[in-house]
Amino acid sequence: MANLKEIKNRITSISSTMQITQAMKLVSAAKLKRALDAITQLRPYADKIQEILGNVSATLDLSENRYAEQREVKNVLIIGVSSNRGLCGGFNNNITKKVNELLANDLKGKNVELLAIGKKVNDSFRNAGIINRPEKLSDATAIFDDLTFDHVSDYAQYAMDSFIEGKYDQVIVVYNEFKNAAVQIVRDQQLLPIIPSSVEDNGSEIGDYIFEPSKLEIIGDLIPKSLKLQLFKAVLDSNASEHGARMTAMHKATDNASELQRDLKLQYNKARQAAITNEILEIVGGAEALNG
């Protein structure tokens, strides 16, 4: 009977776990809807602005666009975007793997610093000696408490200022791009220096733009806003990917718990049937002994 009690306790425990994972799945589904609406509305605008920026940058010289200055890459800033919480499958591990891959290959031998957006990537590299946490920026976990363009733009502004000052020769953003609830694609996108577009890139001639009121005035305002927008898009993509990954992980956890619960119930019924059979045999054996 002790074995039966143990199995019954496991079934009860799994039922409680199923309720938790199911609730987390529903919460993530609701959050995913809002996050998906945000990135869906922003992505076409951000992509078009990036296209215009690349085209215009191809027509500018360094005196007009210092953000496109190509230098020998010695110092690199990686902006790693993760989540503050776990239980979302390989979402955060994929960011850690991509950063380690960059450190071991493309950025090997270079001076690399990591600016973390999200607690998990910050924790992963806490002891690696590459975390950069400027005092004027908010805590790594705070940005997702109130995810707005203004909060994200502070990080982009720091990257731009540091690039202009020569502190970094290259700025790379590593994040999860949302494809669907089950699939997230890890991207490592170069934020700085700006890569000018070419005919080979877009398959057509670079557009001829009319600037009003003036080219320098518009470029001076367009480039910083565009760079901030690219980082904001990456953070929104990551936010939607996180909720999609968590919803999928909790769905799989619920299915696995349900399957385990069925197996335990079958095991419980078999054990209970065996216990009843043994009791009947003992009673029959006792009756036969008395008759004897």
**127 with 224, same domain?**
yes
Distance from C-alpha of 170 to C-alpha of 78, rounded to nearest angstrom: 8
Count the domains in the chain.
Answer: 2
Confidence of residue 77 (pLDDT cuts 50, 70, 90): very high
Same-domain check for residues 126 and 263: no
- Residues 95/174, Cβ–Cβ less than 8 Å: yes
Q: Are residues 62 and 182 in the same domain?
A: yes
CATH of the domain at 8: 1.10.287.80
Q: Are residues 11 and 64 in the same domain?
A: no
> Which one is predicted more confidently, 101 or 206?
101
What is the per-residue pLDDT across 164-212, written as a single tens digit (0 to 9) for each?
999 999 999 999 999 888 889 999 999 988 877 654 454 444 556 676 7
pLDDT at 115 over 50: yes
The pLDDT tens digits of the residues spanning 55-67 come to 776 666 666 678 8
Residue for token digits 């509305």?
A: 41
Whether residue 137 sits in one domain with residue 10: no
Residues 240 and 262 grouped into a single domain? no
Whether 88 and 157 share a structural domain: yes
- Long-range (24+ apart) CB contacts under 8 A made by 37-46 are 38/236, 38/239, 38/240, 39/178, 39/233, 39/236, 39/237, 39/239, 39/240, 42/229, 42/232, 42/233, 42/236, 43/233, 43/237, 45/229, 46/229, 46/230, 46/232, 46/233
In the prediction, which pLDDT does 256 show?
92
Q: Based on the fold, state whether residues 170 and 225 are members of the same structural domain.
A: yes
Q: Is there a contact between 42 and 232 (Cβ–Cβ < 8 Å)?
A: yes
Q: Which domain holds residue 206?
A: 29-248
Q: Which of 48-62, 71-85, 227-241 has the lowest mean pLDDT?
A: 48-62
**Amino acid identity, residue 216?**
L
Same-domain status, 52 and 116: yes
Just list the catalytic residues: 88
Same domain, 217 and 283: no
Per-residue confidence (pLDDT) for residue 127, from 0 to 100: 82
Residues forming a β-bridge with 20:
none
Q: What percent of the chain has pLDDT over 90?
A: 33
Q: What is the pLDDT of residue 203?
A: 46
Residues 232 and 87 in one domain: yes
User: Does residue 224 have a cis bond before it (omega within 30 degrees)?
Assistant: no
**pLDDT score, position 200:** 43
Helix (H) or strand (E) holding 176: strand 170-180
| Residues 94 and 226 placed together within one structural domain of the fold | yes
- Supply the CATH number for residue 172's domain: 3.40.1380.10
pLDDT band at 246 (very low <50, low <70, confident <90, very high): very high
